[in-house]
Structure 1
Amino acid sequence: MTRAGRLSVGIVGAGHVGPVIGAALAGAGHALVGVTAGSDPDRTAAVLPGVAVMEPPELVRAAQLVVIAVPHDQLPGLVSGLAELGAWQPGQLVLHTDPAYGTDVLEPAVRSGAIPLAVHPAISFTGTTLDLRQLQASYAAVTAPAMVLPIAQALAVELGCEPVVIEEADRPAYAEAIATASEFARSIVGQATGILRGIGVENPGGYLSALVSSTFDRALREASSPDPLSPPDLG
């Protein structure tokens, strides 16, 4: 049974993010009512064992908290489509995980009385239970109307994250920062491993692992200090 104050949760989106968010919320004591179908049902079942697979309208009508974790370009159409079907419920919490959108994208659900929340955990999801440990050491961008902002912050904490408030108007800039960091890291590592592979180094990713991790850790520490970045000591 669900503990007092806990929510019934439906997960719309069974990619790398949705099932992990569901598992984290279940670990915090919330009750999962279902998840929508995805392209990798075995992976979803491994992260959310025993959780029912449901159609989106049915799932939305059954949940007090709906978590939407779908690709960026699908989010507006999904929200408005469910509104046209009359799926959104008054007083229902609707949370999406997209970094670029605030809560304006949830307006079709709000018109039906739903409460909009935007929470983006700043990690690179693998879609496995390994992500649950990453969440415990991460931050999450939260955006919500002032009256319900504490709810968004509390849910971020239950995921294991430290919440950081991002204003609605600042979500595009926030998303740009996230994309820049992610794409830069992948690009640089890809170039370096390609060079090492070209000169015959076996397992170039493993070879660079400690160097890359320690260099990024140092850069992040220095970025948090008032002193300018200095070149890493590779000697």
Structure 2
Amino acid sequence: MLPSARPPSQRSGRLGVGIVGSGRVGPVLGLALAGAGHALVGVSAVSEASRERAEGMLPNVPLLDVPTLVERSELVLLAVPEPELPALVAGLAATGTWQPGQIVLHTAPGRGIDVLAPAAAAGAIPLAIHPALEFTGTSLDLARLSESYFAVTAPAAVLPIAQALVVEMGGEPVVVAEADRAAYAEAIATATSFSRSIVEQSTGLLRDIGVENPGSFLSSLVRSAVDNALTRAGAPTRLDLDVLDAIEDGTPPGARDDGRGWFLRGE
């Protein structure tokens, strides 16, 4: 019996995690789970670029094919492009690969647990968890996770499992209903694409008039504009977080460089 299928009183709390997908998201979340004490049993990678990323981010984690990875894992992290998700889940169900009690977690923003129905029918525990963060695919993302919200969709009985995994990865869980996932995905896509296009357009204009390092030139302006917009929306800003940290440890606000870059946060 998989550990995740045992009663809570009989579980060690440590899960064997298999990562399906070596894009920008999977390896980072895998590292976050490993940092919380879980064991990484393997990662799948198809292209040369994904293999290089997996080896760079997870150097001691075996590269495995997807069926083998799923069979060996207690928690399966599906970090693949959203259009590929339905066929992947259904294909593994058709071959009888999913196991009762196994936790299956996907990171697609626009889908809830409906896409995991074939796995759930085999007895797996379906979770949909999406971090509201634009990933770089590097270790820099690990620090950003600690200031990010995660959209969580799960059956009521296992919602605490999803929320606990998010907390272990350093984020804050926010429950999003199954029916609201499409609207959530639209909000995330709008914020991401609009922010990126505005920065690219603005830096291009500055470059055309001879301004050197236009990205650095606009850095403070863009961050302050985003902070002000978030304040009006009722969200804590970078300054708010710095002040709270200073109150806790006695360090004057702004005295430390925490290495954070500009990132997108969703609620």
Question: Which of the five TM-score ranges fits, normalised by the shorter chain?
Answer: over 0.9
The residue that corresponds to 2:29 in the other structure is 21
- Pairing 1:10–2:22 present: no
- Pairing 1:90–2:100 present: yes
Question: Hey, what's the Cα distance between the residues in 2 that align with 1:188 and 1:78?
Answer: 35
The residue that corresponds to 1:62 in the other structure is 72
The structural deviation recorded for 1:205 is 1.0
- Contact kept? 2:203, 2:214, Cα under 8 Å: yes
- Contact kept? 2:152, 2:173, Cα under 8 Å: yes
Aligned residue among 145, 156, 159 for 2:166: 156
Question: Hey, what's the Cα distance between the residues in 2 that align with 1:66 and 1:43?
Answer: 19
Could you say what secondary structure the match of 1:49 adopts?
Answer: coil
Aligned residue among 196, 199, 202 for 2:206: 196
Q: Aligned AA for 1:115?
A: I
The structural deviation recorded for 1:209 is 1.1
Over the aligned positions, Cα root-mean-square deviation in angstroms equals 1.1
State the TM-score, normalized to the length of structure 2. Answer: 0.82
The structural deviation recorded for 1:210 is 1.4
The residue that corresponds to 2:261 in the other structure is none
Structure 2: gaps spanning 5 or more residues: 1-10, 236-267
The structural deviation recorded for 1:84 is 1.2
Question: Hey, what's the Cα distance between the residues in 2 that align with 1:203 and 1:77?
Answer: 44
Could you say what secondary structure the match of 2:135 adopts?
Answer: coil
The residue that corresponds to 1:108 in the other structure is 118
- Contact kept? 1:15, 1:38, Cα under 8 Å: no
Question: Hey, what's the Cα distance between the residues in 1 that align with 2:211 and 2:52?
Answer: 34
Q: Aligned AA for 1:18?
A: G
The structural deviation recorded for 1:46 is 2.1
| Runs of 4+ that moved beyond 3 A | none
Question: Hey, what's the Cα distance between the residues in 2 that align with 1:38 and 1:129?
Answer: 21
Aligned residue among 61, 71, 80 for 2:81: 71
- Contact kept? 2:86, 2:115, Cα under 8 Å: yes
CA deviations 1:11-68 (Å, max 9, x no partner) are 0010000000100000000000000014322222221121000000000010000000
Q: Aligned AA for 2:134?
A: S
The residue that corresponds to 1:31 in the other structure is 39
Q: Aligned AA for 1:4?
A: S
- Pairing 1:129–2:139 present: yes
The structural deviation recorded for 1:73 is 0.5
Q: Could you say if the C-alpha distance between residues 172 and 45 of structure 1 is closer, same or farther in structure 2, counting changes exceeding 3 Å? A: same
Q: State the identity %.
A: 65
Q: Number of aligned residue pairs: give it.
A: 223
- Contact kept? 1:136, 1:161, Cα under 8 Å: yes
Q: Aligned AA for 1:66?
A: V
Aligned residue among 53, 60, 74 for 1:43: 53
- Contact kept? 2:150, 2:173, Cα under 8 Å: yes
